[in-house]
Structure 1
Amino acid sequence: MKEEIEIIFQRLDQLKIDSSPLFGKMNAHQMVCHCTDQIRLALGTFMAEEYGRLKPKEVIALSKAGKTVPAAKGLGQVEGGGTKPINFSTDVKLLKQHILDFSMLNENFEFGLHPYFGKMNKEKWIRLTLYHLNHHFNQFGL
């Protein structure tokens, strides 16, 4: 996991506040806060406003088809949900710290519920988080 974190941080360090997305409507700062919120979901320190709107099979089908999975209500930055961007460099540091904190959790940690997948163990949260970060880094050509 240490090597993956180093690669994630290297990619994240390439992001600038004025980086333009290759797809989607979020700006770079919103994306950073959105990714932090996804990790907060895993940590159980943030909750979506609704759960179960999409079934896991629907999410996987959209993803496999290369389509965007709609953010759960309360996580859509463009719609005004999620953590509000305040200071870009501080918010990037916060994302990095959340990634580190997340990586150090033990297998017995009581992870928060995912809005579409519900209860997940550490392995599933890691896979989803890596996928999610990669998706949004690709969004900005990182």
Structure 2
Amino acid sequence: MHNLFEPAAAGEILERIERLQPASARQWGRMTPAQMMCHCSAALEVASGRRQAKRTLIGRLIGPRMRHLLTSEKPFPKDSPTAKEFKVMDECDFAREKQRLADCIRHFHAAGENGCTRAPHPFFGPITPLEWSTGMYKHMDHHLRQFGV
């Protein structure tokens, strides 16, 4: 499974973000492309330790048993539930969010394992830096597929 510590994987995600347009049609869900990028940036900020996230109750109950989903080849399912603190309801500036997300990916990639948080994942609980990186790749892939890129 790819992860954002790999140069080729990070480059592929950055290239797909570059293809995203304000009018890119969503295949599922409710977010606009700008909201999706804001949501993804927030997740990367948690993974890099620049933002804190609370553990969810459902995550505490079943998250550790579902940890294998982070590293499986199977994509995340469409319309997966999102923790309230990661839901983006406000309108977002497309160009600004595109730059912010690209910067977050570059920062996460460049910092590598040593720059990854040691805090537990909000849903899965304690995970390794490689699991964070793989999960972030899968999260980016999930949302880029949501908008056809």
TM range (shorter): 0.7 to 0.9
What is the match of residue 137 of structure 1?
Answer: 144
What is the match of residue 51 of structure 1?
Answer: 56
Q: What letter is aligned with 1:22?
A: Q
Q: What letter is aligned with 1:96?
A: A
1:99-131: CA deviation from partner (whole Å, max 9, x where unpaired) = 111112243446043210122221001110010
What is the match of residue 10 of structure 1?
Answer: 15
Of 90-99 and 40-49, more deviation after overlay is shown by: 40-49
Q: Which runs of 5+ in 1 are unaligned?
A: none
Aligned identity (percent) is 26
How far has the Cα of 1:49 moved from its partner? 4.8
Q: Does 1:89 align with 2:89?
A: no
Q: What letter is aligned with 1:70?
A: P
What is the match of residue 24 of structure 1?
Answer: 29
How far has the Cα of 1:14 moved from its partner? 1.1
Of 67-76 and 132-141, more deviation after overlay is shown by: 67-76
Q: Does 1:122 align with 2:129?
A: yes
In structure 2, what is the Cα distance between the partners aligned to 1:3 and 1:41?
22
RMSD: 2.3
Q: Which runs of 5+ in 2 are unaligned?
A: 1-5
In structure 2, what is the Cα distance between the partners aligned to 1:86 and 1:92?
10
Contact in 2 for aligned 1:41/1:113 (Cα 8 Å): no
How far has the Cα of 1:72 moved from its partner? 1.2
Q: TM-score under structure 1 normalisation?
A: 0.81
Contact in 2 for aligned 1:107/1:122 (Cα 8 Å): yes
Inter-CA distance 37–19: structure 2 relative to 1 (3 Å threshold): same
**Higher helix fraction (1 or 2):** 2
Inter-CA distance 58–105: structure 2 relative to 1 (3 Å threshold): same
Which residue of 34, 37, 42 maps to 1:37?
Answer: 42
In structure 2, what is the Cα distance between the partners aligned to 1:97 and 1:9?
10
Per chain length, whose mean CA-contact separation is higher, i.e. which structure has more relative contact order (CA < 8 Å, sep 6+)?
2
Inter-CA distance 49–105: structure 2 relative to 1 (3 Å threshold): same
In structure 1, what is the Cα distance between the partners aligned to 2:142 and 2:104?
18
